[in-house]
Structure 1
Amino acid sequence: MSTILVAHPSPDLYGSDLQLVETVRGLLGAGHTVKVALPTDGPLRPVLRAAGAQVAVTPFTVLRKALLTAGGLTSLGLHAAGETSRLRRLARASGADLVLTNTVTLPWWPLAGRAAGLPVLAHVHEAESTQHRLIRSGLNAPLLAASRIVVNSSAAQETLLSVLPRLASRTTVVHNGVAGPPSPPAPLRRRGADSPLHVVMVGRLSPRKGVDVVLEAVALLRRGSMDASLTVCGSVFPGYEWYEEELRRRAAQQDLAGHVRFLGYVHPTWPVLETADVVAVPSRAEPFGNTAVEAMHAGRPLVASRVQGLAEVVTDGETGLLVPPEEPAALAQALGDLAAHPGKAARLAQQAVQDAAARFSVEGYRATMVDIVAETLADRDAPA
């Protein structure tokens, strides 16, 4: 078997981090040796080590929003040669047979892997379509060095190929595999059409996740005389502390005061999801949507934004409801619909459980990633 060197930008335990854990478990289960490089220490490290991976913390550049400007990308380019050379030496010293880069925020790892004479498999979890085309081209340009690219949704594929169409022949869509709860979830609470409604949202406190949208939607429900409450699970991303302050100020206003809870980072989230009458995923942009699949696994009715990967995960009217993004009134209407029709909510939740098990199983995801790694190793002379 082979040694796989994985470069990952975050030591946290959110969507792409947890997906990496499933990739690593699949590779280890197939007999590969897996070594993971992280730029900083954090809760992901012990999880990877418990799975059987070797983990090292070493500094390397991770693209953040502040760098995604023409000037920022130019500045990064000035340091490319030195960091690429250092990472190339690290890749060779690791004894790796393949380099796997997780997300597009690692600009120099694909170049370093190829410079070390190794095949590079890039796993793309982003579908950033709002930046200027020049910025998006610069962000994705290092993928030109990849031997093979996996994207987690057709939306992510479309976004990538819109700026780098020459990567089409190297790009494969593999939907995330999302683990379900360790034991069958508690049954959905029986409620009448006029019973209180408890909404749960899981996600980082960032504008793109739309926490402000669900706050306004719950406020609209309450103004319409519905006894609605909201629980939010998630912590703020560094640099967005201002957003959390805005959310807390809004939640303290008279129409919501006492009816919104911010729990911070929660893992696992199953106990909180079990308290939900309905789960909201109000993202403004979402390449895939692990939290939506988790709600489906938990057997909870789901309302999500009709954006990018969420529109691939949720079948409107069958496994959940889809609403336009950034429209609190539309979200409130959908939540109110499920509140007023408990039978419909239960039917959607039951169908969602079956759909999630069939389409987003961890076992299927791991097997697919293992096959792609084997194919990439077998074609070490892939053009780049």
Structure 2
Amino acid sequence: MNAPSPTLQPAVAAQDDRLRICFPFSGDSIGGSHISVRGLMEHLDPALYRPVVVTEVPGGMIANFFAGHEQMDDPGAQRLFVPGEAFTARKFARTLTGVLPRARFLRRNRIDIVHVNDGRSSANWALAARLAGAKLIWHHRGDPGALGLRLLAPALAHRVLAVSSFALPPAGLWSARKRASVVHSPFDTTLEVDRSKAREALIRELGVPHDTLLLGYFGAFVPRKRPLLFVDMIARMGEISPRPVMGLMFGQARVPAMDIALRKRIAATGVEDRVKLMGYRTPGPFWIAACDRLVVPAVGEPFGRTLVEAMLVGTPIVAARSGGNVEALEGGIGLLVEPDDADALARACIEGSDADAMALRAQVNARARFSEAAHCAQVSAIYKALRP
């Protein structure tokens, strides 16, 4: 297990005129925001910037994910929030007990910018950043109707970064919209996977005929991503597909109730032999490449990483016409269907006759739009503008 790097020493910090940027993370599970931040940190100019990751769990999953980067422990860490729990006013009030320790921590280490990347971290660190005199970047990767974005960001954030136009703060009298800009998440655009070999490996594992249509769902099993709708789609495909079909669900339920509901839906629709729960697997792009289609039934998704990863590896995409899906697939580089329509999803998976040509166009598009270097250049310009 990799131990976090030691805390900055004031004597050393005083001799270091690089911009000190704090990336605090709440909880201890890995998601798209952690992948994006690590990609950003690896491209920041070390002569100009000193990024520091702050974790609630020393030696945990997040600490290990950022091994090799400077780390510190969260001085205000308390009981972790349970993934899937609603972030209520009571829970926000509990975060206030950590404000002063965190503010002192930021002043002591002379942090210039606090860059928060998820709702809980924003709630934990936004006020502390302002009290410490640090600039606050609120990186929003969720629903534009999120409580914190609507109520706290207008008062506390110096800049808001949104992963898509859909995720921008709503305009209004009390809004951070005028301080917001769209910065798409970064990806390794050099990514290459041999789809034929990946598919062959998956076919062998499943023990299914080679002409089976492999349809992949990737992501957490949460209501917004519509895992139950994916099961309904597979059931519908059993009625209309000329080929055998397998629905492969890569991911996990964040709460037991969803796991129970998913298994009940699989049994109720009679697709136990056609839907397989694959669990969480890495590297994700390999398994996306192994599928014949990436299916994204999610509604209100700000900007899904798996969409762009599918574009990069050349897997055709069928997605709901909702949220950031539309922005990611603009220009006809994926098939978009009406949201919450299992039949429409099923028919799109079958009827996409030019799917391979569309996937090739998507690959070229993604390499031009979503590079880590381009993302770093955008964010660095914002850091430079905020420099004290």
Normalised by the shorter chain, which TM-score bucket? 0.7 to 0.9
Relative distance call for 1:325 and 1:93 in structure 2 (3 A) is same
1:362 deviation in Å? 1.5
Q: 1:352 aligns with which of 338, 362, 366?
A: 362
Q: Give the match for residue 92 of structure 1.
A: 107
Asked if 2 retains the 8 angstrom alpha-carbon contact of 1:180 and 1:298, the reply is no
Asked if 2 retains the 8 angstrom alpha-carbon contact of 1:107 and 1:139, the reply is no
Work out whether 1:12 is the aligned partner of 2:29.
Answer: yes
**What are the residue-to-residue correspondences of 1:289-304 with 2, within 5 Å?**
289-304=304-319
Q: Give the match for residue 344 of structure 2.
A: 330
> Could you tell me which amino acid in structure 2 is paired with residue 285 of structure 1?
G
Work out whether 1:277 is the aligned partner of 2:295.
Answer: no
> Could you tell me which amino acid in structure 2 is paired with residue 269 of structure 1?
G
Q: Distance in 2 between matches of 1:244 and 1:137?
A: 27
Relative distance call for 1:376 and 1:63 in structure 2 (3 A) is farther
Q: Give the match for residue 218 of structure 1.
A: 234
Aligned length: 355
Relative distance call for 1:330 and 1:244 in structure 2 (3 A) is same
Q: Give the match for residue 384 of structure 2.
A: 374
1:39 deviation in Å? 2.5
Relative distance call for 1:63 and 1:23 in structure 2 (3 A) is farther
Q: Distance in 2 between matches of 1:270 and 1:291?
A: 8
Asked if 1 retains the 8 angstrom alpha-carbon contact of 2:192 and 2:312, the reply is no
Work out whether 1:244 is the aligned partner of 2:259.
Answer: yes
**What are the residue-to-residue correspondences of 1:15-94 with 2, within 5 Å?**
15-27=32-44, 29=46, 31-40=48-57, 42-50=60-68, 52-57=69-74, 59=77, 66-68=85-87, 72-73=88-89, 75-76=90-91, 78-79=93-94, 81-94=96-109
**What are the residue-to-residue correspondences of 1:150-161 with 2, within 5 Å?**
150-157=161-168, 160-161=169-170
Q: Give secondary structure in 2 for the equivalent of 1:175.
A: coil
Q: Give the match for residue 137 of structure 2.
A: 121
Q: Distance in 1 between matches of 2:47 and 2:378?
A: 11
TM-score by length of 1: 0.84
1:180 deviation in Å? 4.2
Q: 1:267 aligns with which of 268, 278, 282?
A: 282
Q: Distance in 1 between matches of 2:385 and 2:149?
A: 26
Point out where structure 2 has 5 or more consecutive residues left out of the alignment. 1-17, 201-209
Q: Distance in 2 between matches of 1:122 and 1:63?
A: 22
Q: Give the match for residue 132 of structure 1.
A: none
Q: Give the match for residue 205 of structure 1.
A: 221
Q: Distance in 2 between matches of 1:99 and 1:5?
A: 5
1:287 deviation in Å? 0.7
Asked if 2 retains the 8 angstrom alpha-carbon contact of 1:26 and 1:366, the reply is yes
Q: Distance in 2 between matches of 1:181 and 1:214?
A: 30
Q: Give secondary structure in 1 for the equivalent of 2:302.
A: coil
TM-score by length of 2: 0.83
What percent identity do the matched residue pairs reach?
A: 25
> Could you tell me which amino acid in structure 2 is paired with residue 91 of structure 1?
L
Asked if 2 retains the 8 angstrom alpha-carbon contact of 1:208 and 1:284, the reply is yes
Asked if 2 retains the 8 angstrom alpha-carbon contact of 1:285 and 1:307, the reply is yes
Relative distance call for 1:77 and 1:11 in structure 2 (3 A) is closer
Q: Distance in 1 between matches of 2:96 and 2:199?
A: 58
> Could you tell me which amino acid in structure 1 is paired with residue 347 of structure 2?
Q
For residues 177-214 of structure 1, give each alpha carbon's deviation from its aligned partner in whole angstroms, at most 9, with x where no partner exists. Answer: 12246434335979xxx942110111001111111111
1:16 deviation in Å? 1.9
Q: Give the match for residue 178 of structure 1.
A: 187
Q: Distance in 1 between matches of 2:143 and 2:173?
A: 13
1:114 deviation in Å? 1.1
Work out whether 1:234 is the aligned partner of 2:251.
Answer: yes
Q: Distance in 1 between matches of 2:241 and 2:43?
A: 49
Relative distance call for 1:94 and 1:49 in structure 2 (3 A) is farther
Q: Distance in 1 between matches of 2:95 and 2:262?
A: 38
Asked if 1 retains the 8 angstrom alpha-carbon contact of 2:310 and 2:317, the reply is yes
